[in-house]
Amino acid sequence: MAVIKDFDTTTRVIQESVPGRQITLAHIIAAPDPILYEKLGLDPALDYKKSAIGVMTVTPYETTIIMADVGLKAAGIEIGFVDRFSGSLIITGTVSEVEAATSAILEYTEHKLGYAVCKITRT
């Protein structure tokens, strides 16, 4: 981020996004409200109290394809959304399945691909 100060004391902030090899968001929503599934266009879970949604973002964006594969192989999750053009991945399943898949994805990308990864957050 660069801060530029003009002579008229107006401060302008210029932010730049430089894609690196990193997972910038890994969040698990446990027991989401059913309306969230509907608004995201996801298949509704049968038992909302046991269900979860995992949301991740990554750069470079194509890594979402690898992340989806690793997650599917690690746990019985379903892919809700994968976008190789924005780096977004949404997974669904039980809380334990989404946690296991998310952990496996972070582990793989950090140790096998050399990415910087964030910690898993939860709501």
Residue found under tokens 């660069």: 2
User: What pLDDT was estimated at residue 42?
Assistant: 84
Confirm if 23 and 58 have CB atoms less than 8 A apart: yes
User: With a threshold of 0.85, does the pTM exceed it?
Assistant: no
Instruction: State how far the alpha carbon of 35 is from the alpha carbons of 45, 57, 80, 119, in Å.
Output: 11, 22, 15, 27
- Digit-coded pLDDT (tens) for 12-60: 776 555 568 999 999 999 989 888 888 888 876 556 667 999 999 999 9
CATH numbers and ranges of domains, the chain: 19-122 (3.30.70.1710)
Distance CA 103, CA 91 (A): 13
Average of per-residue pLDDT across 66-85: 95
